[in-house]
A and B are shown apart, each in its own frame.
Chain A
Amino acid sequence: MPVNKEFVKFDKVDKSYDGKVLVVKDLQLNIAEGEFITMLGPSGSGKTTCLMMLAGFETPTNGEIYLDGNAISSIPPHKRGIGMVFQNYALFPHMTVYENLAFPLRVRKIPKDEADKKIDKALSMVSLQGFAARMPGQLSGGQQQRVAVARSLVFDPQLVLMDEPLGALDKNLRESMQYEIKHIHESIGVTVVYVTHDQSEALTMSNRIAVFNDGKVQQLSSPDELYEKPVNSFVAEFIGENNTFNGEVSDISGEKCKVKLANAEIIANPISVKSKGDRTKVSLRPERALINPKDKMDNIHNGKIEEVIYHGDHTRVRINLLGNPEFILKVPNSSANLDIKLGNEIKIGWNSQDARALDPK
């Protein structure tokens, strides 16, 4: 059976709360069946609004949302059959874990023995067997979170929405929950739409990531592509760490362009610059620049070490390079033999392929 590429489809969706500002602008987004897609963006970027429109708690001001080919704007939330995990779990505090999980099954009038089987299955999926009789208040944050996930899956929805579900957990728990949710997704093949503002969460879990800003999807692509090949400077800066040079294109030819900085010139990969004289912001990932490069690289410049910060597995080095005092390098701990000392002059090199000349913004 071919996978439905347009299982969820946002078709030219606009949303405004006050009639003056558009929170979501002309959103066009297709989500394939079985996909794990993350909506990532700063707060106020419209990602949660999109999720709420999909869940049915908000209505699009314009446009239509399709679920499996059916327009759903006029269907109330309880008839959409979409599972949802809320930011603060939203477990019913007056019901036991069992009753919480039984709620969606009871309203669907599923017979008790069948419901019990489903509940057992859902609880074992999140490894919480034996917790059925507990009240939510007696569980830790991580356990509550897992109950919330189990509850959103227990009635076998085709689509599950997750609204920053790990936001309230501490760092270690958050990481282990990320893997757990990812594995659940892989094992049952449900379509997941996940909202977060935490980029590492998004990179770890998703098949595809939609980066939101200003009510628009800035880039929709797989995690590695998003990180390696950001299409504009917002995405480049929002995802991961980034070194930037502001300048002006002085020469452009095919795969390469020359960018004139205040007092130097670098070679970059033209992504969103078209012609000579365009303003641009060149973006370079810290790990793509090397100290004293042995390979032949087309950008090699001298810089002065301003700060050295020890990070355990790696060392961060801040360098004043080509007039940018905030140039960051990540040096793996194995290369401690390098001459990294405060105040030293060192050679930095990178390939022009990795220096992406983006919009100036």
Chain B
Amino acid sequence: MSSETKQILTTDGIPLEVSLKKAERKNKIKAFLLVAPLLFFLIITYVFPIGDMLFRSIDDKMVTQMLPKTFKAMENWDGQELPEEEVFAAFHEDFIKLVEDKREGKLSTQLNYTKNGFKSIIKKLRRKSKSFEEGNYKEQIMSVHKRWADVEYWRAIKRRAPEFTSQKYLKGMDMYVNEEGKIVSVEEDRRIHRVLWLRTLEIAFFVTVFCFLMAYPIAHLLATLPMKYSNLLMICVLLPFWTSLLVRTASWMILLQQQGIVNDFFVGIGLVADDNRPEMMYNKTGSYVAMTQILLPFMVLPLYSVMKTISPSLMRAGKSLGGTPFVAFWKVYFPLTIPGIGAGCLLVFILAIGYYITPALVGGASGTLISNQIAFHMKSTLDWSFASAMGLMLLSGVLVIYWLYNKIVGIDNIKLG
């Protein structure tokens, strides 16, 4: 017992633990320096942009900073009736300053996100405000346009007072905070995002299923064929992988269009009438076909790497013990490929859920995904905070799927190679 509690010393009399740490410190520093470039790179290209995105999606300081006096004056306003003169005066003061800085356009864009109709009345106000007289701003502003006399618009302005907001996230789910401050859904005919989310999940799910159904036999063949054939087959699998995504998508456009090769073939063998060619592009079918083909290698490779490690003698053992070929496959081979199936499905699903170029080109209106909407807001409406919010919703969706996968299958049950 005493030898266990006694501290072990090296021959120099230094405690062994200290000596060991000292000896290993150099190695630890070396190891850290080796990973440092990657760590640095990841922080700059990954952690920082995601953090920025998160911030952008909830940041609402812009309006707060543009109308500081207005919001201060609005603090005591209950939002029931039109605000008092002091609010109008403060708004006028803020607005004149914005006009001087030529920033009133930004204000109109921002307020327009909250309520449609701000753009025109702010333009009008800018023109008219040059001839405003001192005092009684309430009357003067209200006379510019009848919407300035509508309490709804003033409530909309007040809703932009807080520095942080969740409204982008609500908008991403087709919801908003109404006049009474309650979270409600938008009218049925204006719900566009929910449909897109559901469609994204649906397309990603079915693309994963199709990829799985097609990749499993290919991977099995790859893993069991003799080397010279399997290498050739492997190249066939990888060749599309090395071709540009755009080229592959464009070639699907050539194949699938109404006057395209596939339709010509169907007409040629008499499957469909010439004047009744099916639409296989610019709808969901196009997205399914092209995405399945493009994502197939991501399913084949993990499956192949797992199947390669399964000894053929296991199937033989299953059969020699009396299992029919199907039983041997289902009870022995299939369970052993589950890590590969998990890896492949997770990979394909996550890639499919964020797919962008292919659905944009062959998906048409009914085949586009949420990522196309994100891109639309990044490029066309320039509502970056909304795009960020949707991006983060997508990211959290992926994390939820990852979590679910971990719960159901176990993440250590995954094998990428």
Contacts and interface: CB of A to CB of B under 8 A. Distances in A.
Interface string B301-337: 0000000000101101111111111011001100110
Contact-residue bracket for chain B: 10 to 19
A80 B322 CA distance: 8
Nearest to A79: B322
Given A78-B325, A92-B332, A55 B318 contact: no
Contacts of A88: 311, 313
A104 B321 contact: yes
B323 A103 contact: yes
Interface string A80-103: 111110111011111000000001
A86 B314 CA distance: 9
B214 to A, nearest CB: 25
A151 interface: yes
A179 interface: no
B314 A87 contact: no
A86 B317 contact: yes
Contacts of A80: 320
Contacts of B325: 76, 78
A248 B325 CA distance: 59
A286 interface: no
B318 A82 contact: no
A77 interface: yes
B322 A155 contact: yes
Contacts of B320: 55-56, 77-78, 80, 82-84, 161
Given A93-B336, A94-B336, A78 B322 contact: yes
Given A90-B313, A92-B314, A103 B319 contact: no
Nearest to B314: A90
A86 to B, nearest CB: 5
Nearest to A87: B313
A93 B317 CA distance: 12
Nearest to A93: B336
A108 interface: yes
Given A92-B332, A94-B335, A103-B331, A78 B324 contact: yes
Question: Helix, strand, loop or mixed for chain B's interface?
Answer: helix
Nearest to B316: A57
Nearest to A92: B332
Contact of A151 (B311, B313, B321, B336): B321
Contact of B322 (A55, A90, A94, A104): A104
B336 to A, nearest CB: 6
A91 B321 CA distance: 11
Interface string A132-152: 000000000000000000011
Contacts of A336: none
Contact of B327 (A57, A107, A151): A107
B170 to A, nearest CB: 46
Interface string B336-365: 100000000000000000000000000000
Nearest to A52: B316
B319 A78 contact: yes
The CB with the most chain A CB atoms within 10 A, among B323, B327, B328, is that of B323
B325 to A, nearest CB: 7
Contact of A81 (B311, B322, B335, B336): B322
Given A77-B316, A90-B316, A94-B336, A107 B311 contact: no
A28 to B, nearest CB: 25
Contacts of A92: 314, 317-318, 331-332
Nearest to B332: A92
A151 B322 CA distance: 12
Contacts of A83: 320-321
Nearest to A103: B321
Contacts of A151: 321
A155 to B, nearest CB: 7
A287 B314 CA distance: 45
Contacts of B317: 84, 86, 90-92
A155 B321 contact: yes
Contact of A103 (B311, B318, B336): B318
Contacts of A104: 321-323
Contacts of A82: 320
Interface in A32-89: 55-57, 76-84, 86-88
B311 to A, nearest CB: 6
A108 B321 CA distance: 9
A299 to B, nearest CB: 51
A78 B322 CA distance: 4
Contacts of A84: 316-317, 320-321
A2 B46 CA distance: 80
Interface in B146-196: none
A107 B323 contact: yes
Pairs of residues from A and B, 8 with the lowest C-beta to C-beta distance, nearest first: A104-B321, A90-B317, A84-B320, A90-B313, A77-B319, A86-B313, A107-B322, A78-B319
Interface of B: 311, 313-314, 316-325, 327-328, 331-332, 335-336
Interface of A: 55-57, 76-84, 86-88, 90-94, 103-104, 107-108, 151-152, 155, 161
Given A107-B327, A155-B322, 10 more contacts: A55-B316, A57-B316, A57-B319, A76-B325, A78-B323, A81-B322, A84-B316, A84-B320, A91-B317, A103-B323
17 contacts: A55-B316, A55-B320, A56-B320, A76-B325, A77-B316, A78-B321, A78-B327, A79-B322, A83-B321, A88-B313, A92-B317, A103-B318, A103-B321, A103-B323, A103-B331, A108-B322, A155-B322
